[in-house]
């Protein structure tokens, strides 16, 4: 073989090796792309923040991680999350950002060994939830999560943790990871806004309990299910007696405080799956699935006792002898009866139980 032929053969071999490396890199990138595409579909599939723990477990499996940890801003997300998702104050999150040496507008993940990052940012150790020496090994990818509508609003951190100390390193490409982080944070913001709007549309702004819209949305389904299963359903129509006197005597601010206290007192009595709403003014409704008349009456008696002992003077921070009493109408659902008819019967029952003006006066004098 001549020198030229040998050179051509060497060049061809070198070209073939380069092509094989390029193809291997392409296959690896394609694999990573499909992996993150799967994760993207898993993130977009959730419809509630309650599904976050299950999503994190799914993502951990899809990305073949040792662990995955999420922490969110307490001021923005407390009350919307399941207990297993930790929250921290905005001040704590910003301190973590500074300890990691990240700028306030940092949009790229922090990569490296867990030991180095944990030393650099002590507050991050809690985020990684280390439990022993084994958890201190390996590498991590930490990215701050930002609000897509308010770019300077830090909503939390997500940390990906792997046992391989080389998996996450400063030299690796991060395009897919950054897209993954953006999509994750955007989904969190969207879900929170959706749940906030949904909550506001079905929540009484003064007392915090549900409103008529919530009842209209959920009660028909409960009544239909109870009818199919032949289960009793009771309805209590609760109306505070002479509440106008509270507003006239102590003022509307005190009246609002007492309505909040009344709602809380009743909420402490009802079950998780009962529907308790403020109908409006000083009227409340309590729907009791799978409850017979005797049990419903006992519940009504408990509510009346709780309201009768409500410390009006303490709630309003004024000197007064006024007491809160309630008239409660009870109705049991009849087959084929609409929700509107059901409420009307409970309302009529409540007016039958209402004390006369003279009786209210005697009660007021006795207190």
* Each residue's pLDDT tens digit, 222-259: 999 999 999 999 999 999 998 888 888 889 999 999 99
Q: Is residue 128 situated within a structural domain?
A: yes
Q: Among residues 139, 172, 200, which one ends one of the domains?
A: 200
The radius of gyration computed from the CA coordinates of the chain, to the nearest angstrom, equals: 31
Same domain, 259 and 311: yes
- Alpha carbon distances (Å) from 108 to 38, 141, 157, 163: 21, 10, 12, 22
Give residue 365's pLDDT.
42
Regarding whether 225 and 140 lie in a shared domain, the answer is no
H helix runs in 78-211, sequence order: 90-99, 114-120, 124-128, 175-201
β-partners of residue 327 are 239
| Per-position b or e across 136-174, b if 16+ CB within 10 A of its CB | ebbbbbbbbbbbbeeeeebbbbbbbbbeeeebbeeeeeb
Q: Is residue 206 part of a domain?
A: no
Mean pLDDT of the chain: 85
Residues 336 and 301 in one domain: yes
In a domain, 207, yes or no: no
* CATH at 322: 3.30.70.270
pLDDT for res 325: 93
Note whether 61 and 192 are same-domain residues.
yes
Here the CATH number for the domain that contains residue 38 is 3.30.450.40
Q: 54 and 120: one domain?
A: yes
Q: In this structure, are 222 and 281 located in the same domain?
A: yes
Question: In the Cβ-directed half-sphere of 131, how many Cα atoms lie within 13 Å?
Answer: 2
Instruction: Name the domain count of the chain.
Output: 2
Supply the pLDDT for residue 51: 95
Identify which has the larger pLDDT, 224 or 119.
224
DSSP string for residues in 228-247: HHT--EEEEEEEETTHHHHH
Domain end position, chosen among 200, 227, 254? 200
Domain of 142? 3-200
pLDDT at 71 over 80: yes
Are 27 and 113 in a shared domain? yes
**Does one domain contain both 174 and 108?**
yes
Taking the C-alpha atoms of residue 283 and residue 212, their distance in angstroms, rounded to an integer, is 11
The pLDDT of residue 32:
59
Same domain, 167 and 276: no
């Amino acid at each position: 073989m001549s020198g030229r032929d040998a050179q051509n053969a060497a060049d061809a071999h070198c070209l073939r090796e380069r092509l094989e490396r390029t193809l291997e890199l392409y296959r690896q990138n394609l694999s990573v792309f499909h992996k993150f595409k799967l994760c993207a579909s898993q993130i977009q599939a959730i419809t509630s923040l309650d599904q976050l723990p299950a999503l994190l477990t799914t993502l951990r499996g899809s990305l073949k991680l040792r662990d995955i940890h999420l922490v969110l801003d307490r001021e923005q997300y407390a009350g919307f999350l399941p207990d297993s998702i930790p929250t921290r104050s905005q001040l704590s999150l910003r301190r973590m950002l500074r300890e990691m040496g990240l700028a306030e507008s940092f949009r790229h993940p922090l990569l490296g060994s867990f030991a180095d990052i944990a030393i650099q940012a002590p507050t991050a150790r809690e985020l990684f939830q280390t439990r022993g020496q084994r958890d201190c090994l390996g590498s991590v990818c930490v990215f701050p999560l930002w609000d897509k509508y308010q770019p300077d609003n830090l909503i939390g951190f997500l940390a990906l943790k792997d046992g391989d100390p080389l998996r996450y390193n400063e030299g690796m490409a991060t395009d897919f990871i950054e897209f993954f982080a953006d999509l994750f944070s955007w989904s969190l913001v969207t879900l929170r806004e959706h749940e906030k709007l949904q909550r506001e549309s079905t929540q009484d702004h003064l007392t915090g309990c549900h409103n008529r819209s919530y009842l209209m949305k959920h009660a028909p389904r409960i009544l239909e299910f109870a009818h199919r299963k032949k289960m009793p359903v009771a309805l209590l129509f609760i109306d505070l007696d002479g509440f106008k006197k509270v507003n006239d005597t102590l003022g509307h601010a005190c009246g609002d405080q007492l309505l909040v206290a009344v709602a809380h007192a009743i909420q402490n009595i009802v079950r998780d799956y009962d529907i308790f709403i403020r109908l409006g003014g000083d009227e409340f409704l309590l729907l009791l699935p799978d409850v017979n008349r005797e049990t419903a009456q006992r519940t009504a008696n408990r509510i009346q006792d709780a309201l009768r002992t409500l410390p009006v003077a303490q709630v309003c921070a004024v000197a007064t002898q006024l007491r809160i009493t309630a008239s409660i109408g009870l109705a049991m659902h009849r087959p084929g009866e609409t929700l509107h008819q059901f409420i009307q019967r409970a309302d009529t029952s409540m007016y039958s139980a209402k004390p006369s003006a003279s009786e209210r006066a005697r009660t007021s004098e006795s207190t």
